[in-house]
Structure 1
Amino acid sequence: MIESPESHELLEVAPGYRTVLLDDGDGPPVVLLHGTPFDVRAWQPVVNTLVDSCRAIRFDLRGHGAAADTPVPDYGRLADDVVAVLNRLDLPDVHVIGHSWGGQIAQQVALDHPQRVNRLSLICTRASPFPAFAAAARGLRDGTADVEASLARWFAPDELAADAEPAATVRAWLHAADRSRWADALDMIATFDALAQLPRIAVPTDVVAAEHDGVAAPEHMDRIADALPDASFRVIASARHLAPLQRPDEVARTVLGAHP
């Protein structure tokens, strides 16, 4: 079980937005943006490797973890939050790493604040709409959503039957998640559309897909890589959507390619 950072002090990143901010390790700074409905804990297996070479910075995004009481706004505001964290830490530019919903926020940061990003890593994310998530959001709000269905997309049947790690931890996180905030994030993913803007992102970008990801499918992520001027594309064999939790060493090695 990955321990909760509940003992950490909450910091005000922006008016009305207080959150956990973790800053570990030494070296080139990287900012890690988690997916929904997760929080900073979802990056811990990757951070365990990164801290030997990098300064790993994480914070709970609005509506998630310690910031669950804060409404989830638009992508522009979420991108501004990343810049607010950089300003607080006196960092002019960083390597921004995003997984899933966090990968979409990472794209927005690179589009809105290009001078603050020196490298980008997009892991199991999308750059065009995924309308099916609008129905999933409605189910979360009206109480008809099946949390176990999400687990079935992310884990093999034998992993769920055994209730082993990380499936057991993820199951607990999903059942504890704020469903309203989760729904807000899924609505955003349902309509996110940045593919045509990606040629504006000039920094080197790692595009990392999971072979068995049914949402951020390798075919779609290959399109993302093709749209970016300076991108490398990799598919993690036999992996699923939660690659940072399920295959953290491989994700970390990809990220560390920029920070040997």
Structure 2
Amino acid sequence: MDLATRATPLATTTVHRAGRLRTGGAELSWHADRTTTPVVFVHGSFDDHTSWDGVVPLLPPGVTAVRYDRRGHSGSSAPGRTVIHEHVGDLVSVITELSGGSAHVVGHSYGALVSLMAAVRHPELVRSVLVHEPPAFPLLTGDPVGEPMRDAARAHVITVAEHIEAGRTEDAVALFAEKVAFGERWRELFDGPQRAMLAANARTFLDQFRDPDHYALDLAALAAGPVPITLTVGTDGPPAVRRITEILAERLPAATVHTITGAGHAPHLSHPAEFAAALARHLDRTHLDRTRPA
């Protein structure tokens, strides 16, 4: 299948590339559709780079879509237990080695946390970020609306971790998908092979659960930094992450918020055209037009 990015059948011809990148003791499996402006996609928990398959062909011409499996997921290795700071370092390596040292970054869920942390630490590398519903649960502490949501989500996540530790990975995936992330109709988003992929990546979720820094965000640095931010949110997603997005919008007044009607926590799977359109608008706002040929 040709994964060249295109808006119409007459879009610019691109070249699909793939390979492996050694970074921080891990090997990352990566894929890129090369034209001009690089956009790096960072997937969420249990997932891998294929979650972006529906979005990449819908991107505007002039975009280099760079996708990779985060360490410990699918085609990428991990030397022992992983922490979020290593995922941030991996993203920096992908931008430096595969994207010419500067890129727009798109993150989903846990990948959104990784993307925002990279924007804080390396604003010289990150041109902009678009993130969908980062699960920054500490933001709900003390919030009368969000704190009960946080507690309910935490209880489910603890049970998910217990299932993984006991080797019940399929139970873990089903509980996480239905109660924490995607809702009762989650099986409509993931076919049989994709559900097997989620189960195969479950151990890395356990690492995330044990990492004391995995939800940490420096909002003051984000608000004061130069990196443009777009927050996307679905109308039908988990209440906790919708509330987190509301708080992020309050704490990051320069950020743009885009709501995707009818979508939940995975619009790149359920509403790829709408998500791709939101990303195109974000890129236009962050001056992608300056890189396009006349």
Flag whether TM exceeds 0.5 (same fold). yes
User: Which of 264, 273, 281 matches 1:257?
Assistant: 281
Distance 1:256 1:62 in 2: 28
Cα drift, residue 98 of structure 1: 0.4
Deviations 1:156-182 (Å, cap 9, x if unpaired)? 54x74xxx564445423223x233222
Distance 2:211 2:236 in 1: 23
Partner of 1:67, secondary structure, is: coil
Distance 1:137 1:190 in 2: 17
User: Which of 223, 243, 246 matches 1:219?
Assistant: 243
Distance 1:16 1:207 in 2: 32
| Structure-2 change in CA distance of 1:10 and 1:186 (3 Å) | farther
User: Which of 158, 165, 171 matches 1:141?
Assistant: 165
248-257 or 138-147: bigger deviation:
138-147
Kept in 1: contact 2:27–2:77 (CA 8 A): no
TM-score (normalizing by structure 2)? 0.74
Deviations 1:218-255 (Å, cap 9, x if unpaired)? 22102112222421112212211121111111111111
Kept in 2: contact 1:22–1:57 (CA 8 A): yes
- Structure 1 stretches lacking a partner, 5+ long: none
1:1-260 correspondence to structure 2 within 5 Å:
10-50=19-59, 52-89=61-98, 91-129=100-138, 131-132=154-155, 133-144=157-168, 146=171, 147-153=173-179, 154-157=182-185, 160=187, 166-175=190-199, 177-188=200-211, 191-194=214-217, 196-197=219-220, 198-214=222-238, 217-260=241-284
**Percent identity, aligned pairs only?**
24
TM-score (normalizing by structure 1)? 0.83
248-257 or 192-201: bigger deviation:
192-201
Cα drift, residue 68 of structure 1: 4.4
Counterpart code for 1:220: I
Partner of 2:107, secondary structure, is: strand
- Structure 2 stretches lacking a partner, 5+ long: 4-16, 139-149, 285-294
| Structure-2 change in CA distance of 1:23 and 1:125 (3 Å) | same
| Structure-2 change in CA distance of 1:229 and 1:70 (3 Å) | farther
Considering only CA atoms, is the larger Rg found in Structure 1 or Structure 2?
Answer: 2
| Structure-2 change in CA distance of 1:70 and 1:42 (3 Å) | farther
